[in-house]
Amino acid sequence: MLGIIIFVYLLWRGLKDNYDNQKIISYSWLALLSFLIVGRLTFGVINWGVWNSNLMDWVSVWTKPGMSYIGGYLGLLLLTWIYAKGQQWKVLAFGEDIMKPVLVWSWFLMADEWWRTKMDFKILVYLMILIVVYLISVWIGKKYRSFVWYKSGKKGFVFLFTNFLFFLLLAIDLIVFKEDLIGIILASVTSLIFAIGLFILGEVKYEK
């Protein structure tokens, strides 16, 4: 709950000067809802037949816990794209503006999961990955317009780069811990997609 409150506050504080306040608040709650629903559904599909023997199991989050954080995050990204398009906002620019609040919120999620799993080392690694990604994204957010090779200078670089780096590190982590092949492929392909987007954005003519 503390993570959710901080997420909503950071999102409102960071975007209130450039976007309508009411729309930002609406987006923040829709983003949380999409994360929870898609994350739950993804977990249910991955673990089909293991615990979801009846329909009530899908909504019984207290008696039948389970959440796919990656599935939830992808759901949040999809909601972000749909909402920004609906409001006629620039998707990449809006995505860049929400990165910091999303990453900070993810710390609370992973810290809670780490504590719940009795300090599982794998969860600690995920938390470290998120912190490293945040620090690098903050640094690069202040520098990318000065990169000679980034010709366009367009906003959206941080959004694409942060997601590229996150899914790349996630893929490496899954390989190191010898996790399932599907997860490795999904993380690798997603990282590649963001890398391609980064390359395309860099080649777009800069509009002052």
Cα of first residue to Cα of last residue in the chain, in angstroms, is: 41
Answer whether residue 158 shows pLDDT above 50.
yes
pLDDT at 123: 86
pTM of the model: 0.82
CA geometry: angle at 73 spanning 141 and 61, to 5°?
A: 145
Q: Which residue has the higher pLDDT, 161 or 17?
A: 161
Q: Which residue has the higher pLDDT, 67 or 207?
A: 67
Q: How far apart are CA 162 and CA 195, in angstroms?
A: 10
DSSP state of 146: G
Answer whether residue 208 shows pLDDT above 50.
no
Q: What is the pLDDT of residues 178-204, one digit of tens each?
A: 777 888 888 899 999 999 988 888 765
pLDDT at 156: 85
Mean pLDDT of 10-28: 88
Q: Which two tokens stand for residue 65?
A: 């816990």
pLDDT at 170: 92
Q: What is the pLDDT of residues 31-82, one digit of tens each?
A: 999 998 888 888 877 777 665 566 666 556 555 666 788 888 999 999 999 9
* 8 A C-beta contact, residue 63 and residue 49: no
| Domain locations in the chain as residue ranges | 2-203
pLDDT at 149: 66
Closest CA to 23 of 114, 119, 89: 89
The fraction of the chain above a pLDDT of 70, given in percent, is 86
pLDDT at 60: 60
Q: How far apart are CA 73 and CA 25, in angstroms?
A: 19
| Alpha helices by DSSP H, the chain | 2-15, 21-46, 56-59, 69-86, 91-116, 121-141, 157-176, 181-203
Q: What is the pLDDT of residues 105-155, one digit of tens each?
A: 888 888 888 888 888 888 899 899 999 999 998 888 888 777 766 766 678
* 8 A C-beta contact, residue 21 and residue 8: no
